[in-house]
Amino acid sequence: MANLFVRDLREIAQGLPENPSEWPHIPCPTCKRAGLTLVPDSLVHEEAATSEAAYSHQEWYPDWIYGGFHCILQCHKKTCDRVRVVGRTSVYLERNEEGYQTLFSPLFFMPELPLVESFGDCPRLVRQRIEAASTVLWADPSSAANRLRSAVEALMDHHGIPRRGFSNAKSYDLSLHRRIERFKTVKPEYAQAADLMLAVKWTGNAGSHGSAIRVSDVLDAVEILDRTLHYIYDTSAEEIRRKAADIIARKGMPASQFTNLPMPPF
Ligand SMILES: [Zn+2]
């Protein structure tokens, strides 16, 4: 199934328009169901002093304007945490009569927005590292890519894939690439998951080596990692199979009445 959070986050990455009623669905980190809306009067934005100082430049143009904003978002469920947002502002030219409009580009959400809907039986450390990627996703996508890569390292640890190899009586560090290949060899039932993890590793490597990783690149890696977790840790398909077998065994009778009613032959 497609990761709907990633779809929402891709829209947020385009920037939030000046009119909050046009903001995309922002998933609630607490219930992971509803969308967040702006707390009335909580949005504050101002132009940077250095932006105003640039007006005197002879080549100044309105799209040089920039600044900062902060606001509070809330879920319609009162038991969900409110979310604080900090970010940058820029301006864009609206095609209709509106002229220049402010664009809000979030840098931090606190608490962080969800990336994965269900972690199944995924180990706690893998989950923590994926959530840690969301914390820095907007401000430092390269760092977020690295955190996803470290989630794959934790996944290898969980499956007992050694960190060190031996050759000529000497031990050496195994690269993550080699560990994933070893995982594929010893657990061929997860071969598809291993191939996906290699892609997450490459994105993480690119982030470490100074390549310009964008939010959209990280979200690609999140989608791939989400599918990997689905292959390895999702137990819902087995639960559904067990439920179906149980209903067939009871021939459709409610479980509470099963012992008291005569059984139809077919
Ligand atoms: Zn909520």
Q: Which two tokens stand for residue 31?
A: 């219930």
- The verdict on residue 262 lying in a domain is no
Q: Are residues 124 and 177 in the same domain?
A: yes
Question: In this structure, are 38 and 146 located in the same domain?
Answer: no
Q: pLDDT tens digits for 131-180?
A: 999 999 999 999 999 999 999 999 999 999 999 988 888 888 999 999 99
Same domain, 97 and 206: no
Asked if residue 129 and residue 165 are part of one domain, the reply reads yes
Contacts of 127 (CB under 8 A, 6+ apart): 119
Residue at 259 is within a domain: no
In a domain, residue 263? The reply is no
Q: Are residues 138 and 248 in the same domain?
A: yes
Q: Verify that 92 and 121 share a domain, yes or no.
A: no
CA of 1 to the centre of ligand 1 (A): 22
Distance 79 CA to ligand 1 centre (A): 7
- Give the distance (Å) from ligand 1 centre to CA of residue 5: 14
The pLDDT assigned to 264 comes to 60
User: Which domain does 90 fall in, by range?
Assistant: 1-54+63-114
Structural domain includes residue 261: no
DSSP notation for 187-230: -GGGHHHHHHHHHHHHHHHHHHTT----HHHHHHHHHHHHHHHH
Instruction: Give residue 33 CA to ligand 1 midpoint distance, Å.
Output: 6
CA distances from 87 to 90, 103, 240 (A): 10, 10, 43
Ligand 1 centroid – CA 126 distance (Å): 24
Q: Does some domain include residue 191? A: yes
Give 108-130 as a DSSP string: EEESPPPS-S--TT--HHHHHHH
Q: Residue type for 37, please?
A: T
Q: Pairing between strand 37-38 and 164-167?
A: unpaired
CA of 75 to the centre of ligand 1 (A): 5
Contact call for residues 48 and 69 (beta carbons, < 8 A): no
Answer yes or no: do 148 and 110 share one domain. Answer: no
Ligand 1 centre distance from Cα of residue 163 (Å): 40
Burial class (CB in 10 A: 0-12, 13-18, 19+), 99: exposed
Distance CA 225, CA 239 (A): 22
Separation of 234 CA from ligand 1 center, angstroms?
23
Cβ(152)–Cβ(42) below 8 Å: no
CA 223–ligand 1 middle distance (angstroms): 22
In terms of domains, do 161 and 173 share one?
A: yes
CA 105 to chain centre: 17
Count of structural domains, the chain: 2
Q: Are 87 and 107 in contact (CB under 8 A)?
A: yes
239 and 140: one domain? yes
**Sign of the alpha-carbon dihedral angle for 75, 78, 80, 81:** positive
Q: 77 alpha carbon to ligand 1 midpoint, in Å?
A: 5
Low-confidence ranges of the chain (pLDDT < 70): 1, 96, 210-211, 257-266
Contact residues for 51 (Cβ-Cβ < 8 A; gap 6+): 64, 65, 66, 67
Between the CA of 84 and the centroid of ligand 1 the distance, in Å, is 14
- Between the CA of 112 and the centroid of ligand 1 the distance, in Å, is 13
CA of 67 from ligand 1 middle (Å) equals 30
The answer as to whether 265 is a domain residue is: no
